């Protein structure tokens, strides 16, 4: 059951000129959140902005095992993300959640391959915690425009996550899109050369990022017959199933599809459920 | 604190309080059952229903605008049969006062929907959506014509014992004449406003921000126009007026009631705050306490248009 | 930076750029001469003028609403004779492109005003205010009737060589039909929108916040409706459309132009920022530079309603 | 010529639960301001609030003769004044001014009697500076609801201003409205008993406060045939003569009146110019 919390800003850390991580005192939401779930936040007085905005829960903050709150990883693209960027300790952010369907964690010996594009990194911190607690080995494929937009690498390394990076300008990792190394490794795996020691097929792919990336990952996963879950990003008016703004076409037969509210039926979907050819 | 009577009368229908969830802004009601006790609302106007299921428009379906939002959902919906089978029983169990918002492409569709819903258990009233601006076949042809409005209301009235509430569009020159046509046709009440036809363009791509090009404007931005329209309707007809458009606080709800609304609906604000309902009711109760008003129904249409006097308020 | 051609053509009239001060929001222009170089504006639409001076409504005359404001000034004004004697010479000296907004209670008054102003030196065009929602006798009877619109436009056209621009009200079912009636009657352009009839009530006193009870809504709140109306008019008529309603940034101005406006007017935003003019022009120039547009006039009506494609933008 | 300044908040001092004095780095405006002039301010992003709001310039801030900025004395009544109350050092307030017609300072031996109701104190700090610099003796009649709402008394005392106070709850000074002591002193003066030593008639009255108070002061002044200037408070949309919202009825004959924009023709008017019986 989602709750609405007037969450105090505990701290706000700028990662670059566009990215920040904001820590919010919303322990009840943090405690109830499963990896891939989101919150709807609202900042500011009056009606600019009018509507809440969806953000994945990034980290669950713990001090001596006690849950203190949660963080959001935010990229500055408009009015709310600008306010999240500018917020200072003590400010208040209205935070409603947790909402939506989470990722389905796998157990060993199946490996987890997480594919993140840009700010699509957000759900993978909590997913890593859950997977690593279960002993699952985790790889993060993480792509961005440039190396300056790749964050929290040490955080993931510290938790035993293997990193595969790509940048569009070639400044770090593969030069190009993150699906390039993903496909290469799947190819190696299919050829019997297990890059990380797992048996062929025992890989579950989790993706989050811009929709064309999700579509590309879904196609690659399908080609190599790997199960894949994607977290889609649709414009959300309410996050609770009230407005029908957030729909995505979901297959209901070989040819057909129907619109499903991604705030209730998602944001996480099995990649083969989505009718990518529609929109 | 004296108990305050919050009940209001919408024709033959008694609502336990004047605060109703607006159609299309509260799903089928059941989506909100885990955050709101549906039995505490004056009523729940469910998402607009056609006879058949509908897919609605492709995304983008909404866009935010200054103090408002545009929507072009296109009345995606499960159709009346699945509604009765899958949603109505839970609404009944949760003791919601259910107002079913119905849409048709033809007069016969409205009549058929009314017939079917009259036989269902747990429907309190029918709201005729003759005002959706987003779809060509969405009754707007009825809603923008006085005879169209008259015909659809009287045809529906003939086949249903349920209270009938045509929902009026604000996209007309003289909304009060549509309230009058509704009254003449036997409507039990009118509700208004539906959204204002509007659009937004992304100047970088020069493309409309909504896939449907145009959509309906709702939210606080439109409130002053909606209040004026409720005021005009109240002065024109005797049947109750249900007011809406940008209500986001108890003060806003009271403004509509003072202008002439017997009850109000809340749409967009529910997206912003799904827990708004108890805040609205508390605020209304508090106002009644401060102004010593025993029955909220006594507020309706009490706007005072006589000239004001000056007072020396030490500031 | 290449020079960009900002000039636009409104019928026979060339404006040096598409940004015009909206009537009633810039006094008689001269009030702003100490903060704005009037010769840099595309034009100045002066406060609505009647033949005779008028006192206007008692205060309160304005009230702020979400992202908007209501006004019921009641067209206080000095009348056409004093305008010509006291204001026009200074406007002429300052090389402002003067659009005179005229109001009448009868068709003859519009004609008489047009006659008088045609003889005056320094008037670039006449804007017929047939859309003020705040006063009974303010031409709204013309503005809400197709034949009324047709009659007043053709009567004025007969007596003046000046470009004639009827200003349309948004408080109608089908604004494009009024643009058509104007075009049929010989109008050189149409401008829209005037304000939306609206009201606000103080719930503590239950009194209207405006002395006139109702007023006109302007500001960003109305922009999406105004853009839609400009789009509809552009698709209906061949004469230029001058768009306005809530423009507060270069992006907003460009949105109107892409929707179909040949020029834009800025009202409420001037109250918020009297120095807005150069910011708007700079923003438009910057946009033209980024999109490599040589003539701003080439933007008019370039909205692209074909379906969009997906792109993989690394985010 | 008014200028628009994005003024930094230098400091913000709360005087009570409703009143604050905010210091703004707007030296150009401060340097050009005459007593009784105002600024139009705007706070906040987006369109809540949409319009600017008018505030009298309270103090001109000087450090070693160098003009640093100005202050506003604000009473919390709505959205902008709430934001002024909450503002912290470093925030930015958009400030347009100076605007409007100032008070007309008198020279000795004429005395200045300033009559302030509540936040109507605002224009009298700058007026005091100008009057005292010219050697004029100054009396401040200052009324409020309670003694806790009477501010800056020492500031005025330090500048040699005689204080006559009134509170509606009787907690300080006269019990009741400020017109009571004003009338008493005018009466004494008229009877030849010069309370402060000035010759009868050599008094100029300046008033600022709620309109019914201004009207009462105007009537008292007329009764005792003293010249009087009032600063009126009308709702202002622009402050520059553009909108015609701020009008006040001004006499244009024995019976008639016409509406004058108080942002251009005022806010300071000769009290006998205003057609108080109209509105
Ligand atoms: C389930 C989900 C989880 C998300 N998690 C994150 C996250 O962890 N970190 C992060 O930075 N972003 C995340 N996003 C995207 C984030 O919601 C948008 O960046 C944000 O809404 C932009 O708001 P704004 O007010 O800053 O921008 P606006 O000023 O509203 O608009 C800027 C742009 O953002 C897009 N946008 C606007 N509203 C929404 C909306 N409600 N949903 C999606 N896109 C929108 C618009 O298309 C526009 O182009 C997530 C989105 C979804 C659906
Ligand atoms: C020339 C002049 C000088 C002033 N000087 C001061 C001053 O020094 N200190 C001070 O505290 N106040 C001063 N005021 C009053 C001040 O402008 C209002 O208190 C302020 O506008 C309220 O804004 P708000 O957003 O806080 O309130 P809102 O939320 O806008 O409304 C609250 C109340 O304030 C009134 N109000 C709203 N807008 C205006 C407006 N533009 N002009 C006048 N009243 C309005 C409304 O009637 C409403 O009842 C002055 C007013 C004028 C005309
Ligand atoms: C997303 C959305 C969907 C809507 N769907 C319907 C609908 O199905 N039937 C209907 O009569 N009105 C519909 N409306 C209109 C609302 O019921 C209401 O009339 C309007 O939004 C104004 O109220 P508000 O400003 O409180 O939202 C919809 C509005 C929104 C925002
Ligand atoms: C205070 C005020 C006075 C106005 N007076 C007139 C007028 O005299 N004549 C007229 O045609 N329009 C008048 N208008 C309408 C504006 O010119 C414009 O059409 C409208 O405000 C919408 O534009 P905006 O949102 O940019 O303000 C007035 C508007 C305002 C706010
Ligand atoms: S965001 Fe409103 S239904 Fe999904
Ligand atoms: S405040 Fe706009 S004219 Fe005076």
Going residue by residue through chain A (279 aa), what tens digit of pLDDT does each one get? 899 999 999 999 999 999 999 999 999 999 999 999 999 999 987 888 999 999 999 999 998 889 999 999 999 999 999 999 999 999 999 999 999 999 999 999 999 999 999 999 999 999 999 999 999 999 999 999 999 999 999 999 999 999 999 999 999 999 999 999 999 999 887 655 444 544 455 999 999 999 999 999 999 999 999 999 999 999 999 999 999 999 999 998 777 899 999 999 999 999 999 999 887
Instruction: Considering only residues B143 and C10, tell me which one the structure prediction assigns the higher pLDDT.
Output: C10
Annotated domain spans of chain B: 8-56+75-195+218-314
Give the active site residues of B. Answer: 132
Omega prior to C60 cis, within 30 of 0: yes
Give the CATH number for residue A54.
2.40.30.10
Report the mean per-residue pLDDT for chain D: 93
Per-residue pLDDT tens digits for D240-266 = 999 999 999 999 877 789 999 999 999
At residue D239, the pLDDT reads 98
What CATH number does residue D172 fall under?
Answer: 3.40.50.80
Identify the chains in contact with B, defined as 3+ C-beta pairs within 8 A. Answer: A, C, D
Q: What are the tokens at A269?
A: 């979907």
Residue B50 has pLDDT above 50, yes or no: yes
Confidence of residue C144 (pLDDT cuts 50, 70, 90): confident
Q: What is the pLDDT of residue C133?
A: 67
Instruction: Report d(CA D42, CA D92) in Å as an integer.
Output: 9
Least trusted range by pLDDT, from B15-19, B136-140, C30-34, C303-307: B136-140
CA C284 to ligand 2 centroid distance, Å: 35
Residues in chain D: 279
Q: Which ranges constitute the DSSP H helices of chain C?
A: 79-82, 88-93, 107-119, 140-143, 146-159, 175-184, 223-236, 250-259, 268-272, 276-290
Beta strand pairing call for B43-49 and B98-102:
parallel
Are D93 and D68 found together in one domain? yes
Which ranges of chain D would DSSP assign to H, the alpha helix? 27-32, 79-86, 124-133, 153-158, 179-190, 211-223
| pLDDT score, position C182 | 98
Of the residues D99, D132, D163, the one at which a domain ends: D99
Q: Which of C25, C103, C132, C233 is catalytic?
A: C132
Asked if D44 and A47 come within 8 Å (Cβ–Cβ), the reply is no
Nearest by Cα to B196 from C198, C270, C268, C202: C198
Q: Quick: pLDDT tens for C47-66.
A: 999 999 999 999 999 999 99
Residue D6, pLDDT score: 96
Contact A213 C310 (CB under 8 A): no
Tell me what pLDDT residue A196 has.
52
Q: What is the DSSP string of A204-269?
A: EEEEES-HHHHHHHHHHHHHTT--EEEE-----SSSSSSS--SEEEEESSSS-EEEEETTTS-BEE
Query: Distance between CA D165 and CA D177 in Å, rounded?
Result: 9
Provide the β-strand partners of residue A230.
A207, A269
A245–chain B nearest CA distance, Å: 5
Nearest to B201 among C66, C222, C255 (CB): C255
**Burial bucket for residue C309 (CB in 10 Å: 0-12, 13-18, 19+):** exposed
For residue B205, give the nearest of C305, C242, A211, C212 by alpha carbon. C305
Q: Which of C71, C73, C75, C25 is nearest to C52 (CA)?
A: C75
Instruction: Verify whether residue C25 is a known catalytic residue.
Output: no
Domain annotation covers residue D130 = yes
Q: Are residues A213 and A157 in the same domain?
A: yes
Determine contact, residues A33/A60, Cβ cutoff 8 Å: yes
Among residues A79, A99, A119, the one where a domain terminates is A99
- The pLDDT, as a whole number, for residue B143 is 84
Model confidence at D45, pLDDT cuts 50, 70, 90, reads confident
How far, in Å, CA of B197 to CA of A49, rounded?
21
Is the separation of the CB atoms in C199 and C228 below 8 Å? Answer: no
Neighbours of chain D (3+ CB pairs under 8 A): A, B, C
- Decide whether any atom of ligand 3 lies within 6 Å of the B280 Cβ: no
Q: What phi-psi label fits residue B67: left (phi over 0), alpha (psi between -120 and 50 degrees) or beta?
A: left
| Residue nearest atom 17 in ligand 2 by C-alpha distance | D54
Coil vs helix vs strand at A188: helix
Q: Is the pTM of this model over 0.90?
A: yes
> Is residue D117 domain-shared with residue D75, that is, in the same domain?
no
Which residue from A55, A235, A239 has its CB within 8 A of the most atoms of ligand 5, so it is best to mutate? A239
Is residue A278 in contact with ligand 1, taking CB distance under 6 Å?
Answer: no
What pLDDT shows up at residue D197? 46
A109 preceded by a cis bond (ω within 30 of 0): yes
Beta carbons of B201 and C258 less than 8 Å apart: yes
pLDDT of residue B138: 57
**C-alpha closest to that of B239 among B78, B5, B11:** B11
Chain D closest-CA separation from residue A55 CA (Å): 22
Indicate which ligand has the atom closest to the C-alpha of A259.
5
D85 and D200 in a common domain: no
C66 and A47 within 8 Å at the Cβ level: the answer is: yes
Beta strands in chain D (DSSP E): 3-14, 19-24, 38-42, 53-56, 60-63, 66-75, 92-99, 111-117, 138-144, 162-167, 174-175, 203-208, 228-231, 247-251, 257-261, 268-270
Indicate yes or no: CB of C220 within 8 angstroms of CB of D52: no
Q: pLDDT (tens digit, 9 = 90+) per residue, C69-109?
A: 999 999 999 999 999 999 999 999 999 999 999 999 899 99
Comparing CA positions, the residue from D85, D94, D98 lying closest to residue D43 is D94
Are residues A32 and A168 both part of a single domain?
Answer: no
Are D237 and D187 members of one domain? yes
Contact (CB<8Å) A210/C315: yes
CA distance B194 to B215: 11
Element (H, E) at B150: helix B146-159
Q: What is the DSSP letter of C84?
A: I
Count: domains in chain A: 2
Would the CB of A78 count as within 6 Å of ligand 5? Answer: no
Tell whether C305 is within 8 A of chain A (Cβ). Answer: no
Look at ligand 6, atom 3, and give the residue with the nearest C-alpha.
D241
Least Cα separation, residue A6 to chain D (angstroms): 18
- In this structure, which residue's CA is closest to atom 5 in ligand 3? B24
Which pair of structure tokens corresponds to residue B77? 């919906």
Query: Which of chain B's residues have a Cβ under 8 Å away from the Cβ of C302?
Result: 206
**Are residues A73 and A169 located together in one domain of the fold?**
no
Task: State whether the beta carbon of A49 lies less than 6 angstroms from ligand 1.
Answer: yes
Enumerate the residues of chain A whose CB falls inside 8 A of the CB of residue C309.
none
Q: Which of B265, B261, B266 is nearest to B229 (CA)?
A: B261
Distance, in Å, from the CA atom of D97 to the CA atom of D239, rounded to the nearest integer, reads 9
B178: pLDDT strictly greater than 90: yes
Query: What is the residue-averaged pLDDT of chain B?
Result: 94
Interface subset of C 49-68, CB within 8 angstroms of A = 66-67
Site to probe by mutation for ligand 2, drawn from D233, D241, D245 as the one with most ligand atoms within 8 Å of Cβ, is D233
- C162/C185 Cα distance (integer angstroms): 15
pLDDT at B294: 96
Q: Is residue D105, in this structure, part of any structural domain at all?
A: no
Please report the pLDDT score of residue D200 as a whole number: 54
Q: List CB contacts (< 8 A) between A238 and chain B.
A: 270-271, 274
- Name every chain A residue with its beta carbon within 8 A of the beta carbon of D48: 45-48
**Which residues in C lie closer than 8 A to residue B206 (C-beta atoms)?**
258, 302-304
Inter-residue contact B148 to B111 (CB < 8 Å): no
- The DSSP secondary-structure symbol of D87 reads -
Q: Whole-angstrom Cα distance, residue A71 to residue A33?
A: 12
Tokens of D276: 């108080």
Per the structure, the complete domain to which residue D192 belongs is given by 111-278
- The residue whose C-alpha atom lies closest to atom 9 belonging to ligand 4 is C48
pLDDT > 70 in chain B, percent: 93
C67's tokens: 């992202």
Lowest-confidence region among C21-25, C219-223, D60-64: D60-64
What ipTM was reported for this prediction? Answer: 0.95
Q: Is residue D67 part of a domain?
A: yes
Residue D254 burial (CB count, 10 A): 5
What is the pLDDT at residue D279? 74
Q: Which fold has domain C8-56+75-195+218-314?
A: TIM Barrel (3.20.20)
Is A104 within the bounds of a domain? no
Cβ-defined contact of C315 to A47 (cutoff 8 Å): no
Rounded to an integer, what distance in angstroms lies between the CA atom of residue B30 and that of residue A49?
27
Phi, psi (rounded to 5 degrees) for C256: -65, -40
Structure token digits, residue C213: 């009870």
**B306, B307, B312: best mutation site toward chain D, by most D Cβ within 10 Å?**
B312
Partners of A48 on chain C (C-beta within 8 Å) are 67
Whether D279 sits inside 8 A of B310 (CB atoms) is yes
Q: How far is the CA of A240 from the centre of ligand 5 (A)?
A: 5
Centre of ligand 4 from the C-alpha of residue D51, in Å? 15
* Helix (H) or strand (E) segment spanning residue A23: strand A19-24
Give residue B144's pLDDT.
87
Rounded CA-CA distance B164/B11 in Å is 9
> Does D121 fall in a domain?
yes
Reported as a pLDDT band with limits 50, 70 and 90, residue B10 is: very high
Look at residue B12 and tell me whether its pLDDT is greater than 80.
yes
SS3 B271: helix
Considering the domain boundaries, does residue A230 fall inside one?
A: yes
pLDDT at B313: 47
User: Is residue D104 a part of any domain in this protein?
Assistant: no
The verdict on A128 and A248 lying in the same domain is yes
Residue A106: inside a domain: no
């Amino acid at each position: 059951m989602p709750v609405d919390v007037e969450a105090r800003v505990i701290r706000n850390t700028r990662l670059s000129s566009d990215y920040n991580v904001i820590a919010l005192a919303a322990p009840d939401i943090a405690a109830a959140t499963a990896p891939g779930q989101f919150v709807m936040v609202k900042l500011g007085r009056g009606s600019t902005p009018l509507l809440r905005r969806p953000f994945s829960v990034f980290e669950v903050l713990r001090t001596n095992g006690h849950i203190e709150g949660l963080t959001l990883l935010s990229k500055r693209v408009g009015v709310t993300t600008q306010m999240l960027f500018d917020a200072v300790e003590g400010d208040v952010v209205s935070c409603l959640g947790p909402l939506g369907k989470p990722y389905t964690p796998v157990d060993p010996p199946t490996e987890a391959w997480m594919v993140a594009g840009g700010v699509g990194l957000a759900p993978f911190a909590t997913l890593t915690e859950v997977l690593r607690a279960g002993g699952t080995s985790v790889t993060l494929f993480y792509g961005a425009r440039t190396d300056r937009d790749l964050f929290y690498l040490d955080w993931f390394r510290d938790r035993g996550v293997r990193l595969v990076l790509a940048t569009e300008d070639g400044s770090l990792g593969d030069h190009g899109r993150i699906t390039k190394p993903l496909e290469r490794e799947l190819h190696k795996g299919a050829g019997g050369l297990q890059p990380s020691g797992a048996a062929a097929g025992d890989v579950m792919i989790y993706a989050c990022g811009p929709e064309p990336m999700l579509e590309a990952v879904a196609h690659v996963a399908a080609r190599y017959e790997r199960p894949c879950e994607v977290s889609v990003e649709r414009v959300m008016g309410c996050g609770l199933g009230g407005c029908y703004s957030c729909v995505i076409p979901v297959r209901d037969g070989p040819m057909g599809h129907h619109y499903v509210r991604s705030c209730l039926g998602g944001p996480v979907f099995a990649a083969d459920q989505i009718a990518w050819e529609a929109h | 604190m004296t108990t305050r009577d919050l009940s209001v009368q919408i024709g033959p229908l008694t609502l336990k309080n004047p605060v109703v969830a607006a159609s299309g802004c509260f799903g089928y009601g059941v989506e909100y059952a885990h955050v709101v006790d549906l039995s505490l609302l004056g009523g729940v106007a469910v998402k607009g229903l056609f006879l058949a299921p509908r897919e609605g428009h492709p995304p983008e379906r909404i866009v935010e605008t200054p103090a408002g939002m545009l929507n072009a959902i296109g009345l995606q919906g499960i159709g009346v049969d699945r509604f009765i089978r899958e949603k109505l029983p839970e609404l009944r169990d949760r003791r919601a006062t259910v107002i079913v918002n119905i849409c048709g492409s033809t007069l016969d569709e409205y009549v058929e929907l009314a017939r079917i819903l009259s036989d269902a258990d747990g429907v309190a009233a029918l709201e005729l959506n003759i005002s959706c601006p987003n779809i060509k076949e969405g009754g707007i042809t009825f809603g923008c014509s006085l005879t169209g409005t008259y015909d659809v209301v009287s045809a529906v009235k003939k086949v249903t014992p349920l209270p009938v509430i045509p929902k009026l569009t604000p996209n007309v020159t003289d909304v009060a004449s549509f309230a009058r046509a509704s009254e003449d046709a036997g409507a039990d009440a009118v509700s208004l406003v539906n959204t204002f036809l509007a659009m937004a363009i992304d100047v970088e791509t020069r493309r409309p921000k909504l896939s449907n090009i145009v959509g309906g404007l709702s939210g606080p931005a439109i409130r002053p126009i909606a209040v004026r329209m409720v005021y005009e309707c109240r002065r024109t007809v005797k049947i109750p007026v249900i007011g809406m458009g940008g209500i986001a606080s108890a003060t806003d709800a009271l403004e509509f009631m003072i202008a002439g609304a017997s009850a109000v609906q809340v749409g967009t604000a529910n997206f912003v705050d799904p827990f708004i309902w108890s805040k609205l009711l508390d605020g209304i109760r508090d106002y009644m306490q401060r102004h010593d008003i025993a029955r909220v129904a006594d507020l309706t249409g009490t706007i005072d248009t006589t000239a004001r006097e000056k007072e020396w308020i030490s500031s």
